[in-house]
Amino acid sequence: MHSALRPKPAVKIPSSLIPPSVSYLKKPSINQNEHHEKSTINGKQYNSKVALNENNNHHHHDHDHIKSNNLTTEKCTWSLGLINSKGKYLTAETFGFKINATGVCLKKKQTWTIIFNSQNDCVYLQSALNNYLSTDKYGRLKCDGHDMVDDCRFQLEYNQKGQWAFKSLTYGMYLGGDVDQLHCFSKAPEWWSPHLALHPQINLKHVLRKRYAKINNDEIHIDNIIPWGSEAILTVEYFDGQYCVRSCNGLYFHKDGKLIAKKTNDTFFTIELFKGYLTFKDCDHCYLTAIGPLGIMTTRNKIAGRDEQFLLEESKQQICLIAPNGKLVSTKQGVDLSANQCEKDNSSTFQLEYDDHLELYHIRTYNNKYWKLEGNGVQATADKRSIETGFYIQATDNGRVTFQASNGKYIIPHATGHMRAIGDQSNSIETLFLLKFVNRPFGVFKCEFGYVAYRNKQSRTLECNKSIFTLFTLEQPNDDSNNDGIICLKGVDGMYWEISSDSNISVSGREPSKFAIELCTSHSRIVLKGPNGMYLRAEQNGSIQASCQNSRQATQWEF
């Protein structure tokens, strides 16, 4: 989940830097009108007025320090929904800060942030309105306060099915109830199923080893220092209170460490929190871990410890760029970025990292350096993110983008291929680079209303307000002629996305239809353009139609 589902701390931005319009998505200072004045790119202005967070922001899990009751505590956060025994989600209503258990699917009002307090080994429940759930000694619940008081503290307990119970640390009673009769006055645990509210394509990090998982033949090894390429992408699928883990080739992870073709009882896991980190428990109640020098992922121990702690991190988009001269941009010849390669390899693959504070992208290389403006040249030399490593990426059409550096100039390849930030015009052909995504063999599309999936089991029509997503294969078209950012989207049964007569999207094409993916200016989101030249727009009722002429009005998808 692009990070829209987890509340961010407010960032004070000078009024001169606030974009003229703000997106409806829940993000601080989102520029959605696809334009930027040059003054907002000016390095000195940013440097003097905006503090840059140089650390990566993890999408679904944060380490931070917060003040609670005058004590500084570590903050570990997870965004999820909580489903009671009647199958209804805990919901925080906008009106009157009421809470109930009436939600039928996981949307914004059903999304809660679990904040771990390491001092008391307890958690806080924060609603999407940034209020904390609290109870009094009579078991009456409130969710209207912004402060982490003692009455907000809950201890987690787990049952054999992987369900969670929330016990008030202050009063010793359990959170429970149904519909609008919720309370915290149960003497026995009442159980809730956790439904992670994250975009399901993630990088899995082993906390103790500080290494990432990646596919290796028919196993998953946790030995990547940087999660690079599609081999490092795992898909976490939710099914009725349990989770499956799939590799980039579509296979399911088996508890014994192998990858298999179909879901079985041995591919299902439940999740728990241990010291604020996530653990996975199999059907035999053994926890997922990594063993040996290769870090082979398997389940082993029946007690969770440091070896069983994991982070789920947002899988950032990785791209390759084809310059106007037809060559790949690469660092193969050293630190200089040059457009002079024909063969794709790690040196021509780059990771996009969006910066909420500066509203710019930072671009990481395979050897863990960032693009940086050095004089008028662009080099891969930076160890940390700074204003000089920030680039404003503007999409133009069919996957082509321009890069504006912190000096306000656009990147143009020199005759030698070296990248120079010297261009004044964004619409000049020499500033246009073709951007292709290289670590998305499958696509999961998510908007503010939910996931893209089939309307129902009998229908071929797609809707955008589903709790459970559908995976689609991203194919490059067979013909190589002029495939600027073009992909074809295929369902598991081999049928392709196409536009039906009513402009809806149907997975019923026997032949591939060509869709274009365009990167948005902000938040690593994309827009999709149909083969009719119209952009896809999602509505709250679930409909997706290729009916939008302008990319600015099109739906921005987490991808």
Q: Is the pLDDT of residue 393 over 90?
A: yes
List, for residues 6-45, the tens digit of each pLDDT value: 343 433 333 333 233 322 222 333 333 333 333 333 333 3
Residue 427's pLDDT band, with cuts at 50, 70 and 90, is confident
User: Model pTM?
Assistant: 0.84
Residue 433's pLDDT band, with cuts at 50, 70 and 90, is very high
What is the rounded distance in angstroms from the CA atom of residue 247 to the CA atom of residue 79? Answer: 23
Residue ranges and CATH numbers for the domains of the chain are 77-196 (2.80.10.50), 201-314 (2.80.10.50), 318-437 (2.80.10.50), 442-558 (2.80.10.50)
**Amino acid at residue number 404:** Q
Q: How far is CA 8 from the centre of its chain?
A: 14
**Beta 318-322 vs 350-355: how paired, if at all?**
antiparallel
What three-state secondary structure class fits 429? helix
**Amino acid at residue number 545:** Q
Q: What is the pLDDT of residue 272?
A: 97
List, for residues 465-519, the tens digit of each pLDDT value: 998 899 999 998 775 545 567 899 999 899 999 999 999 999 999 999 999 999 9
Q: What is the pLDDT of residue 105?
A: 87
For the chain, the maximum distance between any two Cα atoms, rounded to a whole number of angstroms, is 76
Flag the least confident range among 78-87, 237-246, 390-399: 390-399
- Give the DSSP H or E segment for 47: helix 43-49
List, for residues 99-124, the tens digit of each pLDDT value: 999 999 898 999 999 999 999 999 99
Contact 54, 386 (CB under 8 A): yes
Q: How far is CA 356 from the centre of its chain?
A: 14
DSSP 87: S
User: How many beta carbons lie within 10 A of that of residue 477, not counting itself?
Assistant: 14
What is the rounded distance in angstroms from the CA atom of residue 313 to the CA atom of residue 295? Answer: 18
Mean per-residue pLDDT for 86-110? 94
Reported for 256-260, long-range contacts at CB under 8 A and 24+ positions apart, including other chains, are 256/298, 256/299, 257/219, 257/220, 257/296, 257/297, 257/298, 258/218, 258/219, 259/215, 259/218, 259/219, 259/220
At residue 243, φ and ψ (nearest 5 deg) are -130, 145
What is the rounded distance in angstroms from the CA atom of residue 402 to the CA atom of residue 307? Answer: 44
- Give the DSSP H or E segment for 242: strand 242-246
List residues bridging with 258 in a β-sheet.
219
List residues bridging with 451 in a β-sheet.
446, 466
What is the rounded distance in angstroms from the CA atom of residue 85 to the CA atom of residue 490? Answer: 36
Contact 449, 542 (CB under 8 A): yes
Q: What is the pLDDT of residue 50?
A: 31
Flag the least confident range among 7-16, 198-207, 332-341, 473-482: 7-16
Q: Which residue has tokens 């390669």?
A: 341
Q: What is the pLDDT of residue 1?
A: 43
What three-state secondary structure class fits 114? strand
Q: What would the two tokens of residue 272 be?
A: 């728990």
List, for residues 265-298, the tens digit of each pLDDT value: 999 999 999 999 999 999 999 999 999 999 999 9
User: Nearest CA to 136 among 350, 144, 247?
Assistant: 144
Measuring CA to CA, how many Å separate 230 from each of 46, 247, 427, 476, 492? 34, 9, 32, 15, 19
- The two counts, helices (H) then strands (E), for the chain are 1, 49
Q: What would the two tokens of residue 420 be?
A: 């120079």
Measuring CA to CA, how many Å separate 374 from each of 148, 331, 332? 45, 15, 18
Mean per-residue pLDDT for 422-431? 87
List, for residues 359-372, the tens digit of each pLDDT value: 999 999 999 999 99
Residue 76's pLDDT band, with cuts at 50, 70 and 90, is confident
Q: What is the DSSP string of 292-305?
A: TTTTEEEE--SS--
Mean of the per-residue pLDDT values for the chain? 86
Measuring CA to CA, how many Å separate 173 from each of 27, 139, 169, 248? 35, 8, 8, 44
What three-state secondary structure class fits 471? coil
User: Nearest CA to 201 among 445, 540, 370?
Assistant: 445
Mean per-residue pLDDT for 128-149? 96
Q: Which residues of 63-93 are buried (b: 16+ CB within 10 A; e: fewer)?
A: eeebebeeeebbbbbbbbbbbbeeebbbbbb
At residue 309, φ and ψ (nearest 5 deg) are -90, 135
At residue 103, φ and ψ (nearest 5 deg) are -65, 135
Phi-psi region of 433 (alpha: psi -120 to 50; beta: other; left: phi over 0): beta
At residue 95, φ and ψ (nearest 5 deg) are -80, 120
User: Nearest CA to 137 among 181, 100, 184, 182?
Assistant: 184
203 Cβ neighbours under 8 A, 6+ residues apart: 212, 213, 227, 232, 233, 234, 312, 313, 314, 315
DSSP 21: S
